A = this chain, B = another copy of it.
Amino acid sequence: MPMLEPLPQRVVVYEVGPRDGLQNERTHLRVDQKLELIRALAVTGLKRIEVTSFVSPRWIPQLADADELARQLPKAPGVAFSALVPNEKGLERAREAGMKSVAVFLSSSQTHSQKNIHKSLEEALGGYRSVCAEARRLGMRVRGYVSTVWGCPYEGPVSVERSLFAAASLIEMGCEQVSLGDTIGVGTPRQTEQSLGAMLKRIPAPQLAQHMHDTRGTALANVLVGLQMGLTTFDAAVGGLGGCPYAPGAAGNLATEDLVYMLEGMGIETGVDMQRLVAAGKLAQRLIGRELPGKFLRAALAADGAGPLT
């Protein structure tokens, strides 16, 4: 099989459901409900779980309980929990709550950056320099997110150069990995090849992650391109939790089950137990109280009463 070779033998599935999923759900979960979901995810074999964001509660009311949640995180050997921090104050809150892994985030699109974090890309990068330095001094792991790499809800196409500038700056200031986001789920495979190709000229594959939204159904096709180009970390949210903030009713995050199903079906090791993952997906759906869009989850739920399909 020369075409799909060489592919990575194993990949890291980076679960973002409790953060990127829940922050876009209308239903606000209580801390004990979030912890129940995080515990269910922590026993699946997932090694990275992003649990919350230390932004101002005014920005994201769904995650206003970040401090309380972080203090009660379960002991989960082999699982690294992480949280977003928007600035030094957020970092301080994260440290006080016991987080050992944090992430900073910005948008390569100027308009999205202004609307989302009220700063230009350059201002955001300026602020994160000290956040990253301080986090590293504290012995924390730091991840970076670059949003709107495949397109912006306000500007449309975003130049690869801007995304590359953002990603390379984050790496240079100490992020161990930068996750490239298709925030509105517009990406298609040729574009993915071009964007990742440009990134890979300056940033090694292990330092890049793909964070694809499935708003138009193309997330896994784009992941396949990433795999063929050597990427080994892919973000996803259990059940496809989250939806699209720009189009309520549309799908958002790639569903973790769909990602794991494809990877394991290709013989690529994820370390994730699908039965436990589906159990976490069912829990997420029950807690949120709406049908989640993840296709594998739907098939699994349907098969519960259907017989031959497994």
Contact = CB atoms under 8 A, between A and B. Distances in A.
Contacts of A249: 298, 301-302
Contacts of A258: 216-218
| Copy count, this protein chain | 2
A191 B261 CA distance: 13
A218 B309 contact: no
A138 interface: no
Interface in A187-220: 187-191, 193-194, 197, 214-220
Interface residues on A, range: 35 or more
A208 to B, nearest CB: 16
B217 A255 contact: yes
A303 B247 contact: yes
Contacts of A185: 299
B1 A250 contact: no
A94 B287 CA distance: 51
A307 to B, nearest CB: 8
Q: Closest 7 interchain pairs by CB? A: A188-B265, A217-B258, A247-B302, A249-B302, A217-B295, A250-B299, A250-B302
